[in-house]
Amino acid sequence: MVAALAVAAAVLLLFPRAVPNSAGRLGSLLETFLPWLGLGIVVLLGAALLRRSAVALVALLLPVASWTYLFGGLLLPGAEPGAHDLLVVQHNVSDENADPAGTARALAAAGPDLVALEELTPPALPAYESALAAGYPHHAVLGTVGLWSKHPLTGTRALDIRPRGIPEDWNRGLRTVVATPHGRVAVFVAHLPSVRVGAGGLASSWRDESARLLGRAVAAEDVLPLVLLGDLNGTVDDRGLAPLTTRLNVAERGFAFSYPAAFPIARIDQVMARSGTVGRIRTLPATGSDHLPVVARVALAPPGRG
């Protein structure tokens, strides 16, 4: 039994898309928590040792090798900072945050070039603007998302990522161009619809539709490099984000589980790039939000056409 479960774990790790999404999006649910299959391997190892089963121990080499292949690289140290890097912070600050000014100061203390925020509310916005004004003189806010930058912004506009059935005043995406010392960089900030886990599985149809719309916007963007920052309500292993992960590079190092802040089990706050490499991603200390902030360094490729 232990050997059979070990083989099953290896198959799920290597071929999660064999689990269909037709019923309750169970495939996406598995992919959301895929790294946690490692805990199951530890439990199976304990059972194999308890039973003194050589067959089970040999079988466990399969899921161990599979997990190491998929996630072992995330544990390695990141590369040293480069001359053409941008340091970026991504944070869903929560529309119930009781200390927006303190949250803004905590994010600025990390020294990023760019700060992307989601769930901005009209009452809290002045506190963020005031706390970030000194270090980030350039900013843009559309709907409930915003970007603060050390460098000038141009061409700011809304991104149409609203799924069908959501009211027209829903605006959770913006696109702008940052004039960095290394050239122009297109920056997208997005907050995809929430997902829910229930008895019927994972409810993610709006999130998946919004991801497809965002993927089309990424594909149509002609300014390179491009950096996407946002609460995408999905992990990079979730097939629902395939319209983005097939077009953009994701973080090469670090798990950076960001949600929920009290006991993080998944990274749904993402930093992705095209014509750029996302190095190590890590979390910052908790703020007044139910998400943890994430910070990453993006190594930019030579600027593309504009």
- The CATH number given to whatever domain includes residue 148 is 3.60.10.10
Final residue belonging to a domain, choices 49, 75, 101: 75
The residue ranges of the chain whose pLDDT is under 70 are 83, 302-306
Total count of domains within the chain: 2
Give domain status of residue 306, yes or no. no
Residue 146 and residue 261 in contact, taking contact as beta carbons nearer than 8 Å: no
| pLDDT at site 306 | 40
Final residue belonging to a domain, choices 45, 75, 105: 75
- Cα dist. 83→62, 224, 229, 251 in Å? 41, 18, 21, 19
Nearest to 86, CA basis, from 178, 188, 156: 178
pLDDT digits (tens, 9 = 90+) for 137-173: 999 999 999 999 999 999 999 999 999 989 888 999 9
| pLDDT at site 201 | 78
CA distance 206 to 200: 16
Shared domain for 289 and 175, answered yes or no, is: yes
| pLDDT at site 175 | 98
- Cα dist. 174→116, 156, 237, 294 in Å? 10, 7, 24, 19
CA distance 269 to 258: 6
| pLDDT at site 132 | 98
pLDDT digits (tens, 9 = 90+) for 246-298: 999 999 999 999 999 999 999 999 999 999 999 999 999 999 999 999 999 99
pTM, two decimals, is 0.93
| pLDDT at site 305 | 40
- Cα dist. 146→119, 128, 297 in Å? 9, 10, 19
CB atoms within 10 A of CB 99: 15
* Residues belonging to the chain: 306
Torsion of CA 26, 27, 28, 30, to 10 degrees: 80
Shared domain for 246 and 228, answered yes or no, is: yes
Shared domain for 160 and 241, answered yes or no, is: yes
Give domain status of residue 213, yes or no. yes
CA distance 273 to 178: 14
Shared domain for 112 and 249, answered yes or no, is: yes
Shared domain for 71 and 89, answered yes or no, is: no
Final residue belonging to a domain, choices 75, 103, 125: 75
Structural domain containing residue 42: 2-75
